[in-house]
Amino acid sequence: MAELDELEIIKYAQQGDQDAFAKLFQIHYSFLYKYVLKMTLNQQTAEDLVQDTMLKGYDNIKKYNGQSKFSTWLITIATRLYLDQQRKKKREWFWQKNESVELSRSLNWKLAYKGFEWSDIMEGFEKLKSEVRAAILLKHYYGYTNEEIGNMMGIREGTVKSRIHNGMKELRKELMQDG
């Protein structure tokens, strides 16, 4: 594929060109993986989820309508797949194990947030419910609007606001106890 812009590559992928989809995968893999890793806090889960996201994207490429960026479309798929997985786990178990304690402590993201390092926030972040963690991550790390987050997660904008507000309140409480 010579110098094609992303919309042309998408068009070819929608027509069944596997090389075009492979190119889209290559373009967006790193961005998608970093997002999913921050959401799941688990390297293996993130790798599996990115693969599932790309498979679902491949199966549904004809449904992509260009109303949002392609990366946003992939993040929407990844977020919904992750939340579906979490709901399934919750139904299967009465408790939700947090598999990522060791990984989250080893991650050293240097994102300053109101005087705290991102790595300081991770301990409290891992205690949040997955739906709350995803909303906060999409809002404060990726800069999506509440409306966009609501569309991605399939919930109302007001629900997004309350999840972010309550989650941030919980994080502050954790940080004040530790600090």
Mean pLDDT of the chain: 82
Residues 6 or more apart whose CB falls under 8 angstroms from that of 163 comprise: 131, 132, 135, 136
Averaged pLDDT for residues 141-146: 87
Least confident of 64-73, 132-141, 152-161: 132-141
Choose the final residue of a domain: 54, 82, 97.
97
For the chain, how many structural domains are there in total?
Answer: 2
Residue 112, pLDDT > 60, answer no
Residue 2, pLDDT > 50, answer no
Enclosing domain of residue 38:
1-97
Look up the pTM and report it. Answer: 0.63
Residues 6 or more apart whose CB falls under 8 angstroms from that of 60 comprise: 77
Of 19, 33, 29, 34, nearest to 141 (Cα)?
34
Measure the CA–CA gap between 134 and 130, rounded to whole angstroms: 6
Choose the final residue of a domain: 97, 129, 150.
97
**Do 136 and 169 belong to one domain?**
yes
CATH code of residue 71: 1.10.1740.10
How far does Cα 74 stand from its chain's mean position?
9
Residue 114, pLDDT > 50, answer no
Of 125, 22, 31, nearest to 74 (Cα)?
31
Averaged pLDDT for residues 123-135: 86
pLDDT at 39: 92
Choose the final residue of a domain: 97, 131, 146.
97
**Do 3 and 91 belong to one domain?**
yes
For residue 140, what pLDDT band results from cuts at 50, 70 and 90? confident
Residue 177, pLDDT > 80, answer no
